[in-house]
Amino acid sequence: MDDISDSRLKLSQLRAFVTVAQHGSFSTAALELGLSQSTMSHAIASLETELDVVLLNRGRHGASLTHDGEQILPEAQQILALLDSIRKKANLAKGLEAGQVRIATVRSVATHLLPEAIAQFREKFPGVGISLSECDHYPEVEQMLRNGQAEVGFILLPAAVEFEVWELCRDEFVALLPPNAPVQKTPLTWEQFASYPLIMTPSATPHLHARLIRAHLERFGQVLPITYEVKEDSTVISMVRRGLGATIMARLAAEPIPPEIQIRSLPEPLERIIGVAVVGNALLSRAAIAFLDVLRAVSLERSAAS
CB atoms near residue 154 (< 10 Å)? 25
Q: What is the CATH number of the domain that holds 21?
A: 1.10.10.10
Average pLDDT over residues 235-248: 96
> Average model confidence (pLDDT) for the chain?
88
Q: Are residues 141 and 121 in the same domain?
A: yes
What is the amino acid identity at position 57?
N
Q: Are residues 27 and 70 in the same domain?
A: yes
Please state the domain count of the chain.
Answer: 3
Q: Are residues 153 and 279 in the same domain?
A: yes
Q: What is the pLDDT of residue 11?
A: 87
Q: Are residues 65 and 201 in the same domain?
A: no
> Which SS3 state, helix, strand or coil, does residue 240 take?
helix
Which of 49, 67, 95 is the last residue in one of the domains?
Answer: 95
In a domain, 121, yes or no: yes
> Which SS3 state, helix, strand or coil, does residue 203 take?
coil
Q: How far is CA 82 from the centre of its chain?
A: 21
Average pLDDT over residues 226-238: 91
Express each pLDDT in 211-220 by its tens digit. Answer: 888 889 888 8
> Is the pLDDT confidence value at 7 over 60?
no
> Is the pLDDT confidence value at 71 over 70?
yes
Q: What is the CATH number of the domain that holds 290?
A: 3.40.190.10
> Is the pLDDT confidence value at 201 over 90?
no
Q: Are residues 184 and 43 in the same domain?
A: no
Rounded percentage of the chain residues whose pLDDT exceeds 90: 53
Which of 95, 117, 145 is the last residue in one of the domains?
Answer: 95
Express each pLDDT in 168-196 by its tens digit. Answer: 999 999 999 999 998 888 999 999 999 99
Q: How far apart are CA 68 and CA 66, in angstroms?
A: 5
Q: Are residues 165 and 217 in the same domain?
A: no
Q: Are residues 83 and 15 in the same domain?
A: yes
Q: What is the pLDDT of residue 205?
A: 53
Express each pLDDT in 84-109 by its tens digit. Answer: 878 767 665 555 666 889 999 998 88
Q: Are residues 15 and 156 in the same domain?
A: no
Residues spanned by the domain of 142? 102-169+273-305
Q: Are residues 126 and 181 in the same domain?
A: no
> Which SS3 state, helix, strand or coil, does residue 103 take?
strand
Closest of 274, 275, 215, 221 to residue 248, by C-alpha:
215
Question: What proportions of the chain, in percent to the nearest 5, are helix, strand and coil?
Answer: 45, 20, 30
pTM: 0.63
